[in-house]
Structure 1
């Protein structure tokens, strides 16, 4: 189970990234039957048991958010990077969020790619 404080941090990050509810549940590994569901703590608690690797995913999201803040000094880039089309590997013309929402492996790939940018 994730704490209320952790939920608030994650909700803030995902909202800053301007993700819709479906993307928010997908990046957390939650399968919600209601694709129009509002992302909130009450709704998340109803599907939390179906969220795979939730703690690890939260860790990755927090790391990505931190890496973006190190990489960019512009809030538009910090908050918009995940939804910007990117021609570089591994994104190949798609948005990082699309890869991150596909699977845990996709989320790890996004984290790794952003970490490589930080190291440059």
Structure 2
């Protein structure tokens, strides 16, 4: 089954739950509205409405947006495995990183470039930190 078909099978409320979870994580990473919108490929109005506690509003998301949400959730899961301290779990994405891929930039800055490759490659690098912990 393709990713596109799987995304169509998700209800708007399921999409909304994933979006809110990803936005909560991005908020804890200290991402700006603009960064969060670029990472998740959502509009500012979708960002603003999703941040409100209005449980009546729901949104349909496409396969690309759902994959971005999945990557944010998986980056968060990997960070929770690597670090015991919540300050590191939530602070790492905003910290400058001197590894070759990041070249002194923060992982969040790489993710916020907005393209899927940057988000995926950031996930891959962070996921590699956990070694064989899965």
The answer to whether the superposition gives a TM-score over 0.5 is yes
Runs of 4+ in 1 over 6 A off after TM superposition: none
Taking structure 2 as the reference length, the TM-score comes to 0.73
Matched, 1:9 2:18: no
Counterpart in 1 of 2:39?
27
Alpha-carbon shift at residue 11 of structure 1 (Å): 1.9
Alpha-carbon shift at residue 52 of structure 1 (Å): 7.6
Matched, 1:68 2:76: no
Alpha-carbon shift at residue 98 of structure 1 (Å): 1.0
Aligned with 2:119: secondary structure?
A: helix
Relative contact order higher in (CA < 8 Å, ≥ 6 apart): 2
- Match for residue 85 of structure 1 among 96, 119, 131: 96
Aligned residues: 114
Aligned with 1:87: secondary structure?
A: coil
Please, which runs of 5 or more residues in structure 1 have no aligned partner?
Answer: none
Taking structure 1 as the reference length, the TM-score comes to 0.81
Aligned with 1:15: secondary structure?
A: helix
